[in-house]
């Protein structure tokens, strides 16, 4: 029974690995015996992540690539296979928002910048689909492997302002179910595709939106807290357990799910 949560030797590719949630999870997985590939688009940040990762173990690798760059991902895929010989999991952690794709308090709904909207859709949706179609090819040969996508609270509930991001995350839920079904139907029950849906965790992207410089909540931060029964934001490390579970054999009959890690945000109507 102790083997259920074993991660030893698993080869795990992590996109967005220079960011808060996926980056923290990547290190956690490596500390628990996994061989981790840190994929990020900024060379300097990938170098920094790898120099820290090397202190955990030498079984790690950096890949500098945009998640929308099909060719770069393909080269990365070949590089991972040539070094490690297999891939056990892909974590699609790259994602985010941009101001033009949101409707700020000073804007009309009709002011939406469609170029920014398209960029946010591309980053969050295609930026998950393309890496999955690239790295999950290994799963077909192996007849095993798993994908973990990043959804959001905004995928099933309307969250004010963030139109493009919400649309893309809703599509991620759909892609998770679709890919789970297709992979299992075609290649068997060793391949699983799931998602985590974080509630509100402080990241570089949302820090100024949710908290003031003195650490108190902004008006929007307070609105989030009011709808979170735990009355706090998530801590980075509180996402690691869900990811560990979904990668490990303990979830061998779990596919196509979106697992909320949210302090109760999604089950509470706010009143």
Ligand X SMILES: NC(=O)c1ccc[n+]([C@@H]2O[C@H](COP(=O)([O-])OP(=O)(O)OC[C@H]3O[C@@H](n4cnc5c(N)ncnc54)[C@H](O)[C@@H]3O)[C@@H](O)[C@H]2O)c1
165, 187, 240, 245: the active-site residue: 165
Shortest Cβ 186–ligand X spacing (Å): 27
Nearest approach, Cβ of residue 199 and ligand X (Å): 7
Instruction: Find the shortest distance in angstroms from Cβ 114 to ligand X.
Output: 19
Q: Which of residues 174-203 bind ligand X (CB under 6 A)?
A: 198, 200-201, 203
**Contacts made by residues 47-51, CB under 8 angstroms, sequence distance 24+:** 48/18, 49/17, 49/18, 49/23
Residue from 62, 76, 95, 221 in contact with ligand X (CB under 6 A): 95
Residue 156 vs 205, nearer CB to ligand X: 205
Nearer to ligand X, 22 or 247 (CB): 22
Residues in the chain: 271
Would you count residue 40 as binding ligand X (CB under 6 A)? yes
Contacts of residue 61, defined as CB under 8 A and 6 or more positions apart, other chains included, come to: 35, 36, 37, 38, 50, 79, 80, 83, 84
Residue 164 touching ligand X (CB under 6 A): no
Instruction: Give residue 237's Cα distance to chain centre.
Output: 14
CA angle 198, 153, 167 (to 5 degrees): 120
Interface with ligand X (CB under 6 A), residue from 22, 90, 91, 125: 22
**Residue 38 designated active-site:** no
- Catalytic residue positions? 165
Give me the residues that bind ligand X (CB under 6 A), please. Answer: 15-16, 18-22, 40-41, 66-68, 93-96, 123, 127, 150, 152, 198, 200-201, 203-206
């Amino acid at each position: 029974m102790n083997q259920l949560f074993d991660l030893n030797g698993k080869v795990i590719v992590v996109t967005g690995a220079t960011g808060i949630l996926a980056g923290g999870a990547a290190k956690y997985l490596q500390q628990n015996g996994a061989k981790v590939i840190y994929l990020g688009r900024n060379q300097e940040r990938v170098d920094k992540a790898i120099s820290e990762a090397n202190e955990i173990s030498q079984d790690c690798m950096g890949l500098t690539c945009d998640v929308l760059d099909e060719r770069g991902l393909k080269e990365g895929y070949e590089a991972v296979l040539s070094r490690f010989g297999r891939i056990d999991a892909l974590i699609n952690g790259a994602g985010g928002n941009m101001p033009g794709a949101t409707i700020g308090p000073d804007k009309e709904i009709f002011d939406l910048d469609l170029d920014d909207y398209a960029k946010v859709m591309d980053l969050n949706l295609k930026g998950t689909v393309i890496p999955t179609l690239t790295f999950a090819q290994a799963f077909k040969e192996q007849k095993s492997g798993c994908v973990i996508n990043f959804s959001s609270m905004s995928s099933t509930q309307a969250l004010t302002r963030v139109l493009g991001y919400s649309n893309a995350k809703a599509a991620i839920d759909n892609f998770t179910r679709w890919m789970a079904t297709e992979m299992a139907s075609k290649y068997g029950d060793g391949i699983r595709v799931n998602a985590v849906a974080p509630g509100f965790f402080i990241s570089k992207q949302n820090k100024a939106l949710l908290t003031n410089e003195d650490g108190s909540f902004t008006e929007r931060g307070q609105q989030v807290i009011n709808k979170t029964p735990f009355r706090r934001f998530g801590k980075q490390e509180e996402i690691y357990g869900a990811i560990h579970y979904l990668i490990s054999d303990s979830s061998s009959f779990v596919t196509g799910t979106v697992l909320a890690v949210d302090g109760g945000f999604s089950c509470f109507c706010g009143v």
